[in-house]
Amino acid sequence: MEQFLTDEALNAAGLAGVVLYLSSYALLQAGILHGSGYTYAILNLCAASLVLISLMAAFNLSSAIIQVSWIVISLMGIARLAWMNGRVRFSTEEQALLRQVFPDMPPSVARRFLNRGTWVNAEERAALTEEGTPVTNLYYLAEGQAQVTSGGQMIGEITSGLVGEMNVLSGAEASATVKIASPSRLFVISGDSLRRLTARDPDFRILLENGMSRETGRKLMRTNARLSAQAASQLP
């Protein structure tokens, strides 16, 4: 009876390992997990460990070698990530950008992204995008204020966040004009640089697009709230 329970526990461990293997790979392919992050490596480490434990019930040398190798590779990957991330440093304004827009971007990936751009001071009336003109840069407004106009009418203001995120990767035309309304501090990176980064690193593209999508969603929510408030103020 005791042997039966032991075998059942070992088989359960093996099945759990298989589930972790398949789940982590499915999440990776779905873009939920990223190969450059800790989570994927840790899940594979746990999966290989569980399958290795299950071999105590029916040992197989080939399978054991595969699982031990997978454990070693996963540990090497985790150590490499820890070493790379431990060397990365960010300035205060870089930390604010990442915290607001790209909170899930690994430090080493974020460092490559930030190194491709530059921080600039913008004076009043400087144009970031022009309605009907292709978007060539992605901006992050860290300090200051920008006004958004369409068809000559002001439709909103930006005090913090991304500008140009909806069209910068495609290079499509801007749907509105965005101009600096007061002396501002900006991070700017060209669309060409972003396209090169995304072509080399599919994980970075997912992280970038997720951050830009969240920022677009926040803008839509603010716009809807403003329009609702305006409509409410016009009621008798």
Provide DSSP, the chain: -HHHHHHHHHHHHHHHHHHHHHHHHHHHHTTSS-TTSHHHHHHHHHHHHHHHHHTTTS--HHHHHHHHHHHHHHHHHHHHHHHHHHH----HHHHHHHHHH-TTS-HHHHHHHHHTSEEEEE-TT-EEE-BTSB--EEEEEEEEEEEEEETTEEEEEESSEEESTTTTTTTPBBSSEEEEEEEEEEEEEEHHHHHHHHHH-HHHHHHHHHHHHHHHHHHHHHHHHHHHHHHHHT--
- For the chain, the domains span 2-87, 92-233
pLDDT of residue 144: 94
Tell me: pLDDT of 5 over 90: no
How much is the pLDDT for 37?
A: 75
**Higher local confidence (pLDDT), 196 or 27:** 196
Q: What is the β-pairing status of strands 161-163 and 118-122?
A: unpaired
Q: What is the pLDDT of residues 40-72, one digit of tens each?
A: 889 999 999 999 988 887 888 888 999 999 999
Per-residue pLDDT reduced to its tens digit, 141-161: 999 999 999 888 888 889 999
Q: Please tell me the least confidently modeled range out of 13-17, 28-32, 88-92, 149-153.
A: 28-32
Whether residue 236 is predicted with pLDDT greater than 70 in this model: the reply is no
Token digits for 57?
């019930």
Model pLDDT for residues 104-133, shown as the tens digit of each residue: 888 888 999 999 999 999 999 999 999 999
pLDDT of residue 235: 61
d(CA 89, CA 103): 15
Looking at every residue in the chain, the average pLDDT score rounds to: 87
pLDDT at 226 over 80: no
Q: Is pLDDT of 173 > 60?
A: yes
Tell me what pLDDT residue 232 has: 66
Residue type, 213: S
Per-residue confidence (pLDDT) for residue 129, from 0 to 100: 94
pLDDT at 1: 46
The CATH class, in words, for 92-233 is mainly beta
